[in-house]
A and B are shown apart, each in its own frame.
Chain A
């Protein structure tokens, strides 16, 4: 079992995304994170899905995704070197001495404080998912008010591209 990142190019049409999601539900595959947005070609959307599974399972998922008529291309991103990023907002209770501590931790992780109230900071953080996890472990759990993660998106390194 390992965490895998699948990049899917999809016809940018109503209902196409529901087929992708439906497939995961129907075949008992797990969706850990999901992001979707149009690409440089407005007729295409790019979906990034992270899921867990053995090689065999990932192969099955890939084949079944390819079977969907609206799926144009599927790539297992980690087949070759890739960059993955996730964005996160964390609203953190920050008062008294803890306020400076939150700021320090945020700096260490190269986060930005994007909103401030008298009692809280909202931190924005970008990085690979494990960096975001590490940040959440580094701060006082009881101070966390709200966490919003974007889900993973990723791209291959070098000349490799995913295109129609």
Chain B
């Protein structure tokens, strides 16, 4: 005999049966039956946030760091709409989260009832799938299906909208948690097509100027080691996307760093001149390709992605492979091993030597030296802050970021040793993501060092969560590159709008973040002298402050720009390299 439970109890029991550790949420009328069910159990720990957007980012950060789905609970109406930005953020980066929203009772749906929002409708364009619960007996299967959809294939957010009366404690149904999910219309491909994989192997072995362009899909499928094996076998250079950083170690000699709009000179030049691009778990985002019409003219394209809709969407693939990145990499490695045993002359070592010769010249000519020299005017350069952080944490921290110049500096200068260490909102570019995402990571790994590299603008979009940090004892280290401006906006205005800083500065009205941190019960530093930077960073990460939130407010050069930067409408080799030099048409170097 299965147990008879109310909808609310079934919902919470289903989360237990899914193995959910944390539920990030915020209560309200439509969710109160569920909150009562949470109160009467111990297995799922509910984390009370200060804003529903932050709850979604916490779940998202938790998911990115662990690979397990993050779970959110919000009430109807404003609770649900506040969650939308975080759902969209997870959607754009294909992150598995499950968002449970309260809804008005079934009989009131469609009547403009108090706190009624059509959550399924509002969230529709930014979810992988959504459910409206129609009967309490459906709840176990709905939860099971939601987790299945969120975590398989190309992962993504799933919403379960739960009308209040389906969680009524007075109405019970038999609880049984389904073991399996059968959906006739949803069968994501796991393994790539063998013939296509053999074709890809042949193309890779025949290439004279190959490059591996690896994206977030490799991180998410935990394909880093298989990727490294592939790169070693072929001796090919690897460039990681913003979402893919770490899957190939950032400090490895074969790593060219990030590519794209603010990618390294060598990565973008190598892409442009390659004769074969092996794209895996990446989607030829416009921030990578620059003008698709001018994209890498000589390259044959092998494109591996779990989502067929990503393949040939922007750039036509010569060899498309639909499948999970890690699985395809493993199969490809096996094929390559066999092929290379048969053809010891492949790949062409002489051609590779020439190719690496060119790459090394690009590297030498314009690595990330820009911003590496100590400043001469007594002002801290933002790049140096990231380098200092890298040094102080031994490259071993989980680093989250917000959106803007600081994000790009973090991506460029922190060399991530493995996937899941770098956590940022790449697709949606959501300011306010960094702190709550860091909290999600810290919940997952209480002992890990978790740093949030932020800008003062982004930080103020979710700083209320400093209170949540205190409540749950989350010792996040916040490193704020304080340029007293919406720096990235200001940079575009400098470069494209004649330096007219329309609404991108507010230096006369910024709070003193050190005092803000202290007001929330934390430790705050303010650094504005280059000579103090390293010592302050060391102290922030010292054992003494291990259990504390430390806010390191570093005042950096407000006039610094992020370089390289793609020239709008150009090819990948067209970059601004600093305030005076442009690599138009490759004539630079």
> Bound state CA distance, A56 and B124, in angstroms?
25
Among residues 5 to 61 in chain B, which have CB atoms less than 8 Å away from a CB atom of chain A?
none
- A72–B185 CB distance below 8 A: yes
B503 at the interface (CB under 8 A from A): no
Enumerate chain A residues within 8 angstroms of B186, measured Cβ to Cβ. Answer: 69
- A63–B308 CB distance below 8 A: yes
Query: Provided the pairs A15-B132, A18-B121, A18-B124 are in contact, do residues A69 and B312 lie with their beta carbons within 8 angstroms?
Result: no
- B313–A60 CB distance below 8 A: yes
- A64–B309 CB distance below 8 A: yes
Chain B residue at minimal CB-CB distance from A72: B185
Among residues 3 to 59 in chain A, which have CB atoms less than 8 Å away from a CB atom of chain B?
11, 14-15, 18-19, 22, 26, 56, 59
> Bound state CA distance, A63 and B322, in angstroms?
12
B307 at the interface (CB under 8 A from A): yes
Total cross-chain contacts (CB, 8 A): 34
> Bound state CA distance, A34 and B333, in angstroms?
47
B305 to chain A, nearest CB (A): 11
B137 at the interface (CB under 8 A from A): no
Chain A residue at minimal CB-CB distance from B308: A63
A7 to chain B, nearest CB (A): 15
A99 to chain B, nearest CB (A): 48
- A67–B124 CB distance below 8 A: no
Among residues 100 to 137 in chain A, which have CB atoms less than 8 Å away from a CB atom of chain B?
none
> Bound state CA distance, A56 and B130, in angstroms?
29
B287 at the interface (CB under 8 A from A): no
A21 to chain B, nearest CB (A): 10
- B124–A22 CB distance below 8 A: yes
A40 to chain B, nearest CB (A): 16
Enumerate chain B residues within 8 angstroms of A11, measured Cβ to Cβ. Answer: 185
A66 at the interface (CB under 8 A from B): yes
Majority SS at the chain B contact face: mixed
A164 at the interface (CB under 8 A from B): yes
B320 to chain A, nearest CB (A): 11
Chain B residue at minimal CB-CB distance from A26: B125
Enumerate chain B residues within 8 angstroms of A164, measured Cβ to Cβ. Answer: 184-185
Enumerate chain A residues within 8 angstroms of B170, measured Cβ to Cβ. Answer: none
> Bound state CA distance, A64 and B307, in angstroms?
10
Majority SS at the chain A contact face: helix
Enumerate chain A residues within 8 angstroms of B130, measured Cβ to Cβ. Answer: 15
Among residues 137 to 166 in chain B, which have CB atoms less than 8 Å away from a CB atom of chain A?
149
Enumerate chain B residues within 8 angstroms of A64, measured Cβ to Cβ. Answer: 309
Chain B residue at minimal CB-CB distance from A64: B309
Enumerate chain B residues within 8 angstroms of A90, measured Cβ to Cβ. Answer: none
B120 at the interface (CB under 8 A from A): yes
Enumerate chain B residues within 8 angstroms of A19, measured Cβ to Cβ. Answer: 124
- Indicate the member of A11, A19, A60, A69 with the most B CB atoms within 10 Å: A69
A162 to chain B, nearest CB (A): 13
Enumerate chain A residues within 8 angstroms of B352, measured Cβ to Cβ. Answer: none
Among residues 287 to 325 in chain B, which have CB atoms less than 8 Å away from a CB atom of chain A?
307-309, 312-313
- A59–B132 CB distance below 8 A: no
Task: Type the 1/0 row for B105-135, where 1 means its CB is closer than 8 Å to any CB of A.
Answer: 0000000000000001100110011101000
Query: Provided the pairs A69-B129, A69-B186, A71-B185 are in contact, do residues A15 and B120 lie with their beta carbons within 8 angstroms?
Result: yes
A70 at the interface (CB under 8 A from B): yes
- A72–B184 CB distance below 8 A: yes
A107 to chain B, nearest CB (A): 46
> Bound state CA distance, A67 and B309, in angstroms?
8
Among residues 62 to 103 in chain A, which have CB atoms less than 8 Å away from a CB atom of chain B?
63-64, 66-67, 69-72
> Bound state CA distance, A17 and B125, in angstroms?
14
- A70–B185 CB distance below 8 A: yes
- A69–B183 CB distance below 8 A: yes
**Which one of B125, B132, B309 lies within 8 Å of A22 (CB-CB)?**
B125
Chain B residue at minimal CB-CB distance from A14: B132
A25 to chain B, nearest CB (A): 9
Enumerate chain B residues within 8 angstroms of A66, measured Cβ to Cβ. Answer: 308-309
Among residues 169 to 187 in chain B, which have CB atoms less than 8 Å away from a CB atom of chain A?
183-186
Enumerate chain B residues within 8 angstroms of A63, measured Cβ to Cβ. Answer: 308-309
A62 to chain B, nearest CB (A): 9
- A59–B312 CB distance below 8 A: yes
A89 to chain B, nearest CB (A): 32
> Bound state CA distance, A63 and B186, in angstroms?
13
Enumerate chain A residues within 8 angstroms of B129, measured Cβ to Cβ. Answer: 69
> Bound state CA distance, A71 and B313, in angstroms?
20
Enumerate chain B residues within 8 angstroms of A22, measured Cβ to Cβ. Answer: 124-125
- B149–A69 CB distance below 8 A: yes
Enumerate chain B residues within 8 angstroms of A67, measured Cβ to Cβ. Answer: 307, 309
B491 to chain A, nearest CB (A): 30
> Bound state CA distance, A2 and B476, in angstroms?
56
Task: Give A residues with C-beta under 8 Å from B.
Answer: 11, 14-15, 18-19, 22, 26, 56, 59-60, 63-64, 66-67, 69-72, 164
A/B interface sample: 6 pairs, CB < 8 A: A64-B309, A66-B309, A67-B309, A69-B128, A69-B185, A164-B185
Q: Please name the 4 residue pairs, one residue from A and one from B, whose CB atoms are nearest each other, closest first.
A: A63-B309, A72-B185, A69-B129, A26-B125
